[in-house]
């Protein structure tokens, strides 16, 4: 009798209890796997977003720093002192996705007319941002052709695809030198968007503005 009672107290789980326990364990394990995989996916997406953000900010920084040079002429004082036109001062925004300008890169210009290596600009070409480094056929006049000159790609098309580039030109004119001239103060607003080539659902858009320090001086006729 004692032995029978002992075996009765040591009896294990029933089959139904084991099945319930296994089902609960599987549900909990599935939940943990789901949380873990989502954490990994979110972490991977965040890393991709950071990569895209850094690439776009690098391109934006290059554009802003170069556009700030627009209109620079080493002899700009002659515009005020001798009324010599500064042809570097012209800035053109064409179709919203192309900006053209020039500056006295070598600081050796005496007549205010840009040389072939003084022309610069940026434009959207399909999925690339192109930077302009020269324009040999401008003949001393403002280059308003986004297809003229030498252009180079800023972004790696195998990594980042540029989806949007828009320039907005804003200017305000003020009297200068007791009304004998006008001062044209200019700002360029830039919108830049992109996506990762191997993860097109990862997208990012930047917006920034740059004031052109070399204001355009316009003689009043």
What tens digit of pLDDT does each residue of 23-47 get?
777 777 777 777 767 666 666 767 7
The arithmetic mean of pLDDT across residues 203-218, rounded, is 92
> Which tokens go with 18?
């084991």
Judge contact between 76 and 86, C-beta under 8 A: yes
pLDDT score at 25: 76
Question: Quick check: is 99 in a domain?
Answer: yes
Work out the average pLDDT over 42-55: 81
Who wins on pLDDT, 39 or 152? 152
Question: What are the C-alpha distances in Å from 214 to residues 23, 71, 83, 102, 174?
Answer: 74, 5, 16, 11, 14
Task: Supply the pTM of this predicted model.
Answer: 0.78
Q: Residue 40 falls within a domain, yes or no? A: no
Higher per-residue confidence, 174 vs 209: 209
Specify if 54 maps to a domain.
yes
Q: Which of 204, 212, 207 is nearest to 166 (CA)?
A: 207
Q: Please provide the average confidence, as pLDDT, over all residues in the chain.
A: 84
Query: Which among 180, 162, 174, 177 has a CA at the least distance from the CA of 215?
Result: 174
Q: Are 59 and 192 in contact (CB under 8 A)?
A: yes
Q: Number of structural domains, the chain? A: 1
**pLDDT of 167 above 60:** yes
Is 26 a member of any domain? no
Distances in Å between the Cα of 62 and the Cα atoms of 65, 66, 70, 94, 112 are 5, 6, 13, 20, 25
User: Stretch 41-58: mean pLDDT, rounded?
Assistant: 82
The mean per-residue pLDDT over the stretch 43-57 comes to 84
The yes-or-no verdict on residue 188 having pLDDT over 90 is yes
Give domain status of residue 4, yes or no.
Answer: no
Are 204 and 168 a contacting pair, CB within 8 Å? no
- Strands in 177-215 per DSSP E: 181-196, 199-211
The reply to whether 8 falls in a domain is no
Beta bridge partners of 98: 94, 123
pLDDT at 108: 85
SS3 assignment, position 16: helix
DSSP 22-82: HHHHHHHHHHHHHHHHHHHHHHHHHHHHHHHHHHHHHHHHHHHHHHTTTT--TTTHHHHHS
> 2 or 14: whose pLDDT is higher?
14
**What is the pLDDT at residue 42?**
64
Question: Which residues face 168 on adjacent strands?
Answer: 189
Answer yes or no: is pLDDT of 128 > 80: yes
Residue 139 domain-assigned? yes
Q: Is 6 a domain residue?
A: no
Containing domain of residue 139, as a range? 48-219
Q: Which two tokens stand for residue 82?
A: 């001798």
- Tracing tokens 């990569």 back to the chain, one arrives at 51
Query: What pLDDT does 91 receive?
Result: 93
């Amino acid at each position: 009798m004692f032995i029978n009672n002992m075996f009765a107290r040591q009896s294990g789980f029933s089959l139904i209890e084991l099945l319930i326990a296994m089902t609960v364990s599987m549900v909990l394990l599935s939940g943990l796997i789901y949380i873990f995989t989502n954490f990994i996916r979110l972490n991977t997406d965040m890393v991709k977003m950071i990569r895209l953000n850094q690439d776009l900010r690098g391109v934006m920084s290059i554009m802003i720093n170069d556009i700030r040079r627009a209109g620079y002429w080493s002899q700009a004082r002659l515009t005020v002192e001798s009324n010599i036109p500064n042809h570097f001062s012209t800035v053109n925004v064409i179709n919203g996705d192309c900006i053209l300008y020039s500056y006295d890169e070598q600081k050796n210009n005496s007549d205010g007319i840009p040389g072939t290596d003084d022309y610069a600009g940026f434009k959207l070409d399909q999925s690339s941002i192109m930077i302009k480094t020269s324009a040999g056929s401008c003949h001393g006049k403002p280059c308003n052709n986004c297809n003229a000159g030498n252009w180079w790609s800023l972004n790696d098309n195998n990594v980042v695809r540029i989806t949007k580039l828009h320039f907005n030109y804003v200017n305000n004119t003020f009297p200068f030198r007791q009304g004998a001239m006008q001062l044209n103060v200019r700002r360029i607003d830039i919108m830049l968007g992109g996506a990762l080539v191997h993860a097109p659902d990862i997208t990012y858009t930047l917006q920034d503005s740059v004031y052109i320090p070399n204001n355009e001086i316009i003689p009043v006729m």
